[in-house]
Amino acid sequence: MGFPGTWMTESESVVYRVVPKCACSTIGQIMFYSDHGKFFDGDIHDSTSGLHKWSQSESQPLIEANVLRHGSPTFTCVRNPYTRILSSFFDKICGIQRNGRRYRGNMVPLLIQKYGIEVGGPDGTEEFDQIKSFRRFLLFARDTIRWKKPMDPDIHWSAMSGHVATFIANGGKYDHIFFTESFNDGMGKVLDSMDSKHKVDLKKIPRFNESEGHGPKRAHPVEDYFDDMSMHLMWEIYKKDFQLFKYDFENPGNKMPKSEVDLKEVHRRLGD
């Protein structure tokens, strides 16, 4: 199994388990900068050098050796499940991707046909009922996660705890799990624990939001998208995410966590 979704600086100063839709573009660029004193020119997900990634076969033995001996500070970043699933909807379902096409080819036409959602027309710019369509998408997301129908779940809306767990199950250990919502504080603690070649000033780092502008803007407050049924589905899909990462399930309008992550609890519950 190894360590899918794991990135490591070339200097092995830090190891990061990617969780999609949780500031991963910005984190990857910070890691790249800390080694090279410059940012990667383009989307960091497209880089094939300058940063070790599990998806690059030559990086795998180096990542595996480091993780198993816990040779570097290791971290991940999480996000409120309500805002994360909304971001996935507007970016991946309603938006046109970097390649000028819909995400995952025939997935959006399938959603339109089987679940009756709207996505704002061919280019995502037309007016549509965002709340109704999002709730139908949420039903689809639940179906993919619970029954793997009509397709396997996508990494952008599968549970954060699942991403975090594979790293633990295969022998990894986290030193830091911080929140997207308090990014500078959490990333600052990670940088303090690293031996970086180039100092990173978080106050001057741009946010590399690679999904920005892919889809329509959210037209309503977060809480407007979630009625009782939607919240029931959220609990069915993301119960562990709310519990382990301390987010407020009862109030979709509260994006902030209620307390810090308990690393011992995370390793105990996800390491089984």
Looking at residue 70, its pLDDT comes to 98
Looking at residue 214, its pLDDT comes to 66
Is the model's pLDDT at 209 over the cut of 90? no
Work out the pLDDT band at 212, boundaries 50, 70, 90: low
Q: Roughly what angle, to the nearest 10 degrees, separates helices 228-244 and 160-169?
A: 30
Q: Taking the CA atoms of 261, 263, 269 and 272 in sequence, report the sign of the dihedral they define.
A: positive
Higher pLDDT, 126 or 124: 126
Is the model's pLDDT at 224 over the cut of 70? yes
Looking at residue 73, its pLDDT comes to 98
Residue 15 DSSP code: E
Looking at residue 68, its pLDDT comes to 97
What does DSSP say about strands 74-78 and 176-179: parallel, antiparallel, or unpaired?
Answer: parallel
Residues 234-272 have pLDDT tens digits of 999 999 999 999 999 999 999 999 999 999 999 999 997
Looking at residue 213, its pLDDT comes to 61
Looking at residue 130, its pLDDT comes to 96
Looking at residue 105, its pLDDT comes to 86
Q: Average per-residue pLDDT in the chain?
A: 94
Looking at residue 239, its pLDDT comes to 98
Q: Maximum Cα–Cα distance for the chain, whole Å?
A: 53
Residue 6 DSSP code: E
Q: In sequence order, what DSSP letters do the residues of 180-203 get, joined into one string?
A: GGGHHHHHHHHHHHS--SS---TT
User: Would you say 141 and 85 are in contact if contact means Cβ atoms under 8 Å apart?
Assistant: yes
Q: What is d(CA 37, CA 203) in angstroms, rounded to the nearest whole number?
A: 16
Please tell me the pTM assigned to this model.
Answer: 0.95
In the predicted model, what is the mean pLDDT of residues 221-240? Answer: 98
Higher pLDDT, 124 or 108: 108
Work out the pLDDT band at 1, boundaries 50, 70, 90: confident
Q: What is d(CA 190, CA 73) in angstroms, rounded to the nearest whole number?
A: 8
In the predicted model, what is the mean pLDDT of residues 196-220? Answer: 84
Looking at residue 222, its pLDDT comes to 98
Residues 76-122 have pLDDT tens digits of 999 999 999 999 999 999 988 878 889 998 899 999 999 999 998 88
